[in-house]
């Protein structure tokens, strides 16, 4: 596919040194360009002024500054492309009068007269033909209705609805949480992910909608020395590559230094280390440690598709099981049949919590976020208005795997209340 991507803000000048613009960093658009390139497509990236306007290797960069320049660049690359992904935050207005010299305070500019810029998507709509056009909608209110309105008005195939009032999504952050609204009226809510992961899913959606397959640059070679010729190793490598995505599924837990959200792969690794260290506190004296480690390594893999459901999110839990079953069907089927069945069984054992190993693994899965919440001063509890009774109720089953760890968790909860960062 030939993919045209726009990124970053535009600048609309008042005089040679002053302009109107917005907070777009270009991170989302550059991530889309990288994802399209990594999936084997030709990419042209039209970028407004952003801090590091370095084109991703292999991508042709067209630098622009104003909305008018961006329109001209889109128009001249339109015939070439099969798909246009418009993630740029194009300024909607520009000063009606541009001073060719720097205005002085003494000029006493009483008011700034603005005029609308051309709407790029609307302008090029008549030339769409069979191309796929995807817009982005940056909204602070009425996310879905506004996104649908823009999708219809601009004649798009899909629009990425972006709630930019969130601190972990939208402008100038590494993560994004979006809803993909398609022209058939469907809305897919995607979990909080890195912008790279959002971009990859988006490009995959474009491929599917156009009936195109990705052809990434470095496929796993078939028939390596010593590898069986039945494709077994290729399927195992495909799975290993797929689960790399777990590193882009973000949890609602801050790292203990509070610097950013933790991802699912980091969480799973932490549980594995805890299992090794804390085995002596399991209720079951003859615990199979290797089995516990396998359970915790596998337990969140389905979140690659299903996303992380925040443990106090009541609505999210209503369809969690269905989302995770569908994810399990897809992800574990990537492996050769015998291994897929074993890994799926591990995931089911963890979910069922019927074996001592699963109960201990589940205890660790609850204690670890408790530690994170405690050591970050309860920021996430406060953000979601969580109180100590909810925390106790949600974590009670720690006791089934380890009474000692439950006592420890209880003392953390009491201390958090005492310190004032968990509501009594
Ligand atoms: O760059 P980042 O810091 O990573 O932030 C990413 C982002 C928040 C900028 C991005 O995810 C996003 O939401 N981009 C769209 C921002 C925007 O301008 O939205 P809008 O709702 O105003 O516009 C709707 C669509 O029309 C967009 O695809 C936009 O590119 C397009 N548009 C807007 C104005 C205009 N004059 N011409 C256009 O074509």
pLDDT tens-digit map of 197-244: 999 999 999 999 999 877 765 443 444 445 555 678 888 998 999 999
Ligand 1 atom closest to 26 (CA)? 1
All residues at 6 or more sequence positions from 410 whose CB lies less than 8 Å from its CB, including other chains: 392
Q: What is the pLDDT of residues 158-202, one digit of tens each?
A: 999 999 999 999 999 999 999 999 999 889 999 899 999 999 999
Structure confidence at residue 227 (pLDDT): 53
Alpha-carbon dihedral 147, 149, 154, 159, rounded to 10 degrees:
20
Residue spans of the domains in the chain: they are: 2-210, 231-419
Structure tokens at 223: 């028939």
Name the CATH code of domain 2-210 (choices 2.40.50.140, 3.40.50.1860, 3.40.50.10300, 3.40.50.2000).
3.40.50.10300
> Which of 124, 54, 43, 136 lies closest to 87, judged by CA?
136
Candidate CATH numbers 3.40.30.10, 3.40.50.2000, 1.10.3210.10, 3.40.50.2300; the one for domain 231-419: 1.10.3210.10
Q: Torsion angle, CA of 230/233/239/240, rounded to 10 degrees?
A: 180
SS3 state of residue 128: coil
Give the C-alpha distances (Å, rounded to integers) separating 369 from 6, 264, 319, 395. 38, 12, 22, 10
Which protein residue has the closest C-alpha to ligand 1 atom 34?
90
- The residue whose CB lies within 8 Å of the most ligand 1 atoms, and thus the one to mutate among 6, 9, 138, 153, is 138
Take atom 35 of ligand 1 and give the residue whose Cα is closest. 119
Rounded CA-CA distance 346/301 in Å is 11
Mutate to test the pocket of ligand 1, among 50, 88, 178 (most ligand atoms within 8 A of CB): 88
Q: What is the 3-state secondary structure (H, E, C) of 152-195?
A: HHCCCCEEEEEECCCCCCCCCCCEECEEEEECCCCEEECCCEEH
Share of the chain above pLDDT 90, in %: 78
For 17-57, the pLDDT digits (tens) are: 999 999 999 999 999 999 999 889 999 999 999 987 778 88
Contact criterion met (CB below 8 Å) for 356 and 282: yes
395 flagged as catalytic: no
Q: Whose CA is nearest to atom 18 of ligand 1?
A: 89
Torsion-angle region of 108 (φ positive above 0: left; ψ -120 to 50: alpha; else: beta): left
Whole-number Å distance between alpha carbons of 360 and 281: 9
Asked if residues 393 and 410 have their Cβ atoms less than 8 Å apart, the reply is no
pTM equals 0.63
Packing angle, helices 289-298 and 356-375, rounded to 10: 60
CATH fold match for the domains 2-210 and 231-419: no
Tokens for 375, please give them.
């050591």
Question: Using a 6 Å cutoff on CB, does residue 302 contact ligand 1?
Answer: no
């Amino acid at each position: 596919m030939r993919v045209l991507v726009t990124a970053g803000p535009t600048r609309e000048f008042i005089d040679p040194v002053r302009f109107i613009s917005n907070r777009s960093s270009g991170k989302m658009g550059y991530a889309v360009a990288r994802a399209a390139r990594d999936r084997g497509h030709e990419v042209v990236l039209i970028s407004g002024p952003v801090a590091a306007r370095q084109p991703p290797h292999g991508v042709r960069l067209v630098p622009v500054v104003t909305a008018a320049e961006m329109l001209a660049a889109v128009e001249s690359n339109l015939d070439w492309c099969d798909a246009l992904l418009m993630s740029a935050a194009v300024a909607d207005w520009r000063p009606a009068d541009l001073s060719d010299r720097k205005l002085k305070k003494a000029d006493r500019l009483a008011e700034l007269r603005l005029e609308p810029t051309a709407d790029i998507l609307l302008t090029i709509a008549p030339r769409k033909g069979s191309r796929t056009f995807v817009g982005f909608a940056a909204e602070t209110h009425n996310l879905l209705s506004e996104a649908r309105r823009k999708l219809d008005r601009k004649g798009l195939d899909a629009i990425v609805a972006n709630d930019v009032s969130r601190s972990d999504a939208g402008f100038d952050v590494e993560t994004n949480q979006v809803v993909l609204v398609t022209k058939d009226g469907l809305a897919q809510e995607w979990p909080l992910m890195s912008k790279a992961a959002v971009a990859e899913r988006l490009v995959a959606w474009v491929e599917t909608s156009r009936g195109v397959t990705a052809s990434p640059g470095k496929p796993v070679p078939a028939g390596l020395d010593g590898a069986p010729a039945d494709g077994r190793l290729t399927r195992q490598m495909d799975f290993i590559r797929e689960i790399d995505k777990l590193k882009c599924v973000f949890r609602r837990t801050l790292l203990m230094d509070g610097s950013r959200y933790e991802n699912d792969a980091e969480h799973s690794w932490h549980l594995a280390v805890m299992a090794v260290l804390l085995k002596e506190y399991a209720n079951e004296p003859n615990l199979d440690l290797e089995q516990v480690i396998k359970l915790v390594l596998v337990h969140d893999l389905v979140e690659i598709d299903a996303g992380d459901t925040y443990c106090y999110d009541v609505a999210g839990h209503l369809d969690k099981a269905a989302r995770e079953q569908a994810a399990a069907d897809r992800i574990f089927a990537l492996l050769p049949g015998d291994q897929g069945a074993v890994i799926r069984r591990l995931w089911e054992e963890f979910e069922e919590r019927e074996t001592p190993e699963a109960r201990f693994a589940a205890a660790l899965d609850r204690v670890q976020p408790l530690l994170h919440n405690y050591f970050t001063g309860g920021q996430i509890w406060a953000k979601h208005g969580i109180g100590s009774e909810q925390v106790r109720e949600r974590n009670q089953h720690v006791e089934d795997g380890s009474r000692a760890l439950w006592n420890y968790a209880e003392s953390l909860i009491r201390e958090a209340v005492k310190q004032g960062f968990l509501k009594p």
